[in-house]
């Protein structure tokens, strides 16, 4: 049976981008059911609009996608998923400010939890990263990682300067162990 330290060493070997002993993803909050407080018939109509909006966006018809997501928001203004989907369409359409606005709504309505909250945090983190707002991006990725997003966990590690330094040092140690005669890596 491996000790906790042994497991941390194995994690660092199999995931060299993860700082030694890091367990960001091991304390994930459960994703909650977001549908239970809404009228099922209204929710069905909104889901249908969202599915049609996603299909329109995937086919490149962003104008129709935006209209469908906006209609879903008009019908059910407290439904975080529609804001999250419209944010994606807005981002694809080049409207970063509008996308950030919709993501703020999605995060507020979801309480920053559940599947939609996690997705919105990841999207907002990516937009912050695009805008060179690394501190804000790191915060969003860390929150999404705690909700269970492995992508967000990876992004948080890449943005963490301490983790990058530790990973570089660990990489050098492993390089030296594998190649004792090789010159030091810069």
The pLDDT tens digits for 36-63 are 788 999 999 999 999 999 999 999 999 9
Q: What is the pLDDT of residue 163?
A: 62
In a domain, 173, yes or no: yes
The encoded tokens of residue 157 equal 């590690």
In a domain, 94, yes or no: yes
Q: What is the pLDDT of residue 23?
A: 44
In a domain, 16, yes or no: no
In a domain, 184, yes or no: no
Q: What is the CATH number of the domain that holds 94?
A: 1.25.40.10
Q: What is the pLDDT of residue 119?
A: 95
User: What is the reported pTM?
Assistant: 0.72
In a domain, 5, yes or no: no
Q: How far is CA 68 from CA 29, 47, 100, 105, in A?
A: 31, 11, 19, 17
In a domain, 183, yes or no: no
DSSP states of the chain as a string?
---HHHHHHHHHHH-TTSPTT--GGGSPPPPPPSSTTS-HHHHHHHHHHHHHHHHHHHTT-HHHHHHHHHHHHHH-TT-HHHHHHHHHHHHHTT-HHHHHHHHHHHHHHHTT-HHHHHHHHHHHHHHHHHTT-HHHHHHHHHHHHHTT-HHHHHHHHHH-HHHHHHHHHHHHHHHHHH-TTSPPP-
> How far is it, in rounded angstroms, from Cα 53 to Cα 101?
19
Under-50 pLDDT residues of the chain: 9-33
Range of the domain at 125: 39-178
Q: What is the pLDDT of residue 18?
A: 44
Q: What is the pLDDT of residue 174?
A: 74
In a domain, 21, yes or no: no
Structural domain count, the chain: 1
Taking each helix axis as running N to C, give the angle between helix 40-58 and helix 62-75, from 0 to 180 degrees, rounded to the nearest 10. 170
Buried b (16+ CB within 10 A) or exposed e, 159-174: bbeebeebbeebeeee
Q: What is the pLDDT of residue 137?
A: 95
> How far is it, in rounded angstroms, from Cα 66 to Cα 78?
17
In a domain, 22, yes or no: no
Q: What is the pLDDT of residue 172?
A: 75
């Amino acid at each position: 049976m491996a000790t906790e330290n042994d497991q941390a060493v194995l994690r660092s070997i199999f995931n060299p981008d993860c700082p030694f002993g890091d367990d960001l993803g091991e304390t994930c909050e459960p994703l909650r059911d977001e549908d239970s407080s809404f009228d099922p018939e209204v929710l069905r109509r909104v889901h249908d609009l969202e599915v049609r909006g996603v299909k329109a966006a995937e086919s490149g018809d962003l104008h129709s996608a935006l209209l469908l997501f906006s209609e879903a928001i008009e019908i059910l203004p407290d439904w975080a998923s529609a804001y999250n989907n419209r944010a994606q369409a807005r981002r694809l359409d080049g409207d970063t400010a509008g996308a950030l606005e919709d993501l703020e709504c999605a995060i507020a309505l979801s309480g920053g939890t559940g599947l939609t909250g996690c997705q919105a945090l990841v999207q907002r983190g990516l937009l912050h990263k695009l805008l060179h707002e690394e501190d804000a991006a790191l915060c969003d990725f860390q929150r999404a990682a705690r909700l269970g997003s492995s992508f967000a966990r990876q992004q948080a590690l890449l943005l963490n300067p301490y983790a990058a330094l530790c990973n570089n040092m660990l990489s050098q140690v492993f390089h030296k162990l594998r190649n004792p005669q090789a010159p030091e890596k810069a």
